[in-house]
Structure 1
Amino acid sequence: MNAAPRPLPPLELPIIGAPMAGGVSTPALVAAVSNAGGVGMLAAGYQTPDQLAADIAATRALTDRPFGVNLFVPEDSERDEAALARYAAQLGPDFARFGVALPGPHWKDTDFWREKIALLSSDPVPVVTFAFGLPSRGEVDLLRAVGSTLVGTATTPEEAHAAISLGLDAVVLQGPEAGGHRATHRVEDEPSGLPLAELLTAVRATTDLPLIAAGGISTPERVRELLDAGASLVQIGTALVRTPESGAPQLYKDCLATRSGTVLTRAFTGRYARTLRNRFTDAHSATAPALYPQVGQLTGPLRRAAAAAGDPENLHLWAGIGHASARPEPAGVVVRDLAG
C-alpha cells in the first residue's frame, strides 16, 4: 500500500523553475526563483555527486525557501555499437571542420544514480523530481523517509498513471511544446504529440494529486489558462534562460531572441529534445540513433568546439515554442510577472 501523499511546500506563487541541466540552473537561478515565491530546481543530470552536493550547499547559502533537485533516471538498454559507429562516421566531417578528434567508444557513466540517491537521503532537500523514468519503490521509500516530496515527470497519461501508481506525491506533465529533452520513460519511444492542455485534462480526470503543467509557457495568460484547467502549478524553463542568474552562455541567450523555428531531434544526445533549428539539426536529425547518453557523449566535443568558436549552427540550443518571449530580466521579475 502506498503512503499518503506528502504535500508540496507552501508557495506564494504557483511557479516551479524547470531543472535545466548542463549548467543553466545555477544555484543563483534556483535561489532567485525560490526567493520570488516559487520553487527553484537544481538539475543533477550530468553532475558528479560532489558537484551536486556543492550546488545544494550553495543554494542553501542563497535562500531559506524551499527548493529541489531533479534526477535523470537511468535506463538499462542495450548499446547498439554498430548504429553508434555509423553515426560517428557521418559526423566525421563535422569534427574535422573544427579540428576535433572523434571520441573513442569508451562511454562513461554520467548518472551516478545510486550515489545521488544516497546523497539526497543523507542530505535531503524539500523536493525531488525524476525525469526519463521512475525510481524503484525502495528508492521512493528511502527518500520519503527523510521528508522529501517526490514528483514524477510524464509525457503521456500512461506515464502519469505509472507515477501515480508508484505512490509519488505529484506529477509534472510535460507537453510537446517544452524545450529541451522530452521526458519519455523509454529512450526509444516516439514522443507524444498530445498538447499540454489535453494531457492535463486527461490526467486531471483520473487523479486529485497535484499536477504541474510544463511546456512552452511564456505568458501570464497561459499560466492562468492552465491553472483554470486543473494544474496545481506550472513549470517554466526557457523563460528563465536569458535571466542574469542563468548559467547559459551568452550565445545561447542571444539565439533565443534572434532565431526562429524549433524542431524535435535526437541529433545531439540520442533522446528527442526541442531545440532551435540549425545546420546540425537539418543534417543529422533523420539518422541519429536512439542511444542515450552515448550520442550525447559522442557529440559533446563537437558542441564544445562550436561553442568556443561562437558557432550556433552546431550547438544544441534548447528552446520551447515560446522562446521569443524570454527576457533578459532578473529571474524574480520573470517569475512574478508570469504569476500575474
Structure 2
Amino acid sequence: MSAALHRTEIFCSRFGLQVPILLAPMAGACPPALSVAVAKAGGLGACGALLMGPDEILAWAGAVRAGSNGAFQINTWIPDPAPARDPAHEAQVRDFLGRWGPEVPPEAADVVPPAFDAQCRAILEAGPPIVSSIMGLYPAPFVAELKQHGIAWFATVTTVSEARAAERAGADAVVAQGSEAGGHRGSFDAGDAERQQVGLFALLPAVADAVSVPVIAAGGVADARGVAAALILGASGVQIGTGFLRCPEAGIHPAWADAIALAAPEDTAVTRAFSGRTGRSLANGYVRAAAAADAPAPAPYPVQRALTAAMRATAQTAGDVQRMQAWAGQSARLASADPAGAVVRRCWEGAKALLS
C-alpha cells in the first residue's frame, strides 16, 4: 500500500499535480468552471475538445488559466476513416428518429466534425501541460511537435495491445479505460469498442504489467474506495468523469443530473444510437427503443451524431431525459451534488485513509 502512495507521489511530481485525481475530458460537459474547481483542489482539469473549433479551444484554455494556475489537459479524438454512406439506410434512421423528435431532413447527415489538423494547431498554440488522445494514437509528426513544446501526452487505451502500441508511439502515460466508463469507448477500432468490453479491474493490472509508463485508471471510479482499489492494482492516478457530472460547476441539465443520482449500474447501457460510436449512457426510452429488433441499426459515426442532433437539442430544451443524450458510467449513483473541489478532496483523503 505504501508503494501505491509512493507511485502517486512520483506521478504528481512529474505532471505538476498535488493529488492524483484527473477530471475526464467529457466533450460538451467540461466547462472551464469545472476544470478550475478541480485544479484548485490540486487535481487535473480537462477539456473534451471533440466538438470545438480552434477559437473555442483557445478561449477555453484562456478561461481556465484566468481562474486557476493549476494543470489541465486538452483531449481530441483521432479521426476514423471516412464513413461508408448508405442513403437508403439513412432514410430509415431518419424515419425512426422522427418518432422521437423533429423531422430529420436528408442534408442533416452531411454535417462534419471540426477539422482535426486545425484542432491540433490550436492545441499547440494553447500550450497545455498535457494533451490526451482517444480513439487511436496521434500521428508521429504531431507527437514530435508535442515533445518539442514540452507537452506530455496521455493516450486512452482499452486493451493491453493498445497500451503497448501507445507506449511505442511515445505516450508519456496511458489512460486505461474500462467498459464501466460513461460516454464513448476509446477503442482504436470502432468495431472493437463493441466486441471488447473489458472491465477496469481486469484491464488495469494487465496494462500496468505490460507497460513501463504510468497508468491512469478510468471507468466506474467515483469515490475513495474506487480510487484506493485502482492504486492498489497498479494505477498512478485516477480519472473521474460521471462522478463530477452532478457538481454545480458541471452545469449539465438538471434532468440528467437527477437521473444519474438514481441510476444503478444496470440502469446504463452501451449504445451506438446517439453518435454511431459505442458509448455508455443511461438506458432511457430512446436507447431501449433503438436497441429493439425492429429498429434500424445506427448509421456510422459521425453520420448518426448529425442525424440525432435535432432530437438531442429538443430533448435538452424540454428537459426530457427519455430522449436526452445522458452519458453515465456504471457507478453513476456514487456521484454527488457537492462542489467539485470537495469531491476531489473527499476522494483523495478517503483513499489515503484506506491505504494507510
For residues 11-22 of structure 1, the aligned pairs below 5 Å read 11-22=17-28
The letter of the residue matching 2:309 is: G
1:228 to 224, 228, 232: 232
Identity percentage of aligned residues? 37
Q: Deviations over 1:154-185 (max 9, x none)?
A: 11111111111111111000000101111111
1:83-122 counterparts in 2 under 5 A? 83-95=89-101, 99-102=102-105, 104-122=107-125
Alpha-carbon deviation of 1:8? 4.5
CA deviation after TM superposition for structure 1 residue 130, in Å: 0.4
Q: Which amino acid aligns with 1:146?
A: H
Matched residue, 2:247: 243
Q: Does the 8 Å CA contact 1:34/1:65 hold for their aligned counterparts?
A: yes
**In the alignment, does 2:54 pair up with 1:49?**
yes
Aligned partner of 1:267 in structure 2 is 273
Q: Given that residues 27 and 49 in structure 2 are in contact (C-alpha distance below 8 angstroms), is that contact kept between their aligned partners in structure 1? A: yes
In the alignment of these two chains, the number of paired residues is: 331
The structure where helix makes up a greater share of residues is: 2
Contact 1:270/1:288 (<8 A) preserved: no
Q: Which amino acid aligns with 1:50?
A: D
TM-score, L = length of structure 1: 0.93
Structure 1 counterpart of 2:224, one-letter code: P
Partner residue in 2 for 1:157? 160
CA distance in 2, matches of 1:144, 1:53: 20
How many angstroms apart in 2 are the aligned matches of 1:303 and 1:181?
16
Moved more, 186-195 or 163-172: 186-195
Q: TM-score, normalised by structure 2?
A: 0.89
Matched, 1:35 2:49: no
Deviations 1:272-319 (A, max 9, x none): 111111111111135433511110111011111112112111111111
Q: Give unpaired runs (5+ residues) of structure 2.
A: 1-12, 351-356
For the residues of structure 2 that align with 1:111 and 1:72, how far apart are their CA atoms? 11
Distance 2:299 2:231 in 1: 34
Report matched runs for 1:1-340 at 5 Å.
8-22=14-28, 24-82=29-87, 83-95=89-101, 99-102=102-105, 104-189=107-192, 190-260=194-264, 261-285=267-291, 287-289=296-298, 291-339=300-348, 340=350
- 8 A Cα contact 1:31 1:63, kept in partner: yes
Q: After superposition, what is the alpha-carbon deviation per residue over 1:62-111, rounded to whole angstroms, capped at 9, x for unaligned? A: 1111111011111113323243333223223223xxx4444525523313
* Conservation of the 8 A alpha-carbon contact between 2:45 and 2:73: yes
CA contact (8 A) 2:273 2:290 kept: yes
* CA pair 213-191 structure 1, distance change in 2 beyond 3 A: farther
In structure 1, stretches of 5+ residues that fail to align are: 1-6
8 Å contact kept, 1:187–1:291: no
SS in 1 for 2:17: coil
Root mean square deviation, CA, Å: 1.7
Structure 1 runs of 4+ with >4 Å offset = none
What is the DSSP-based 3-state SS (H/G/I as helix, E as strand, rest coil) of the residue aligned with 2:56?
helix
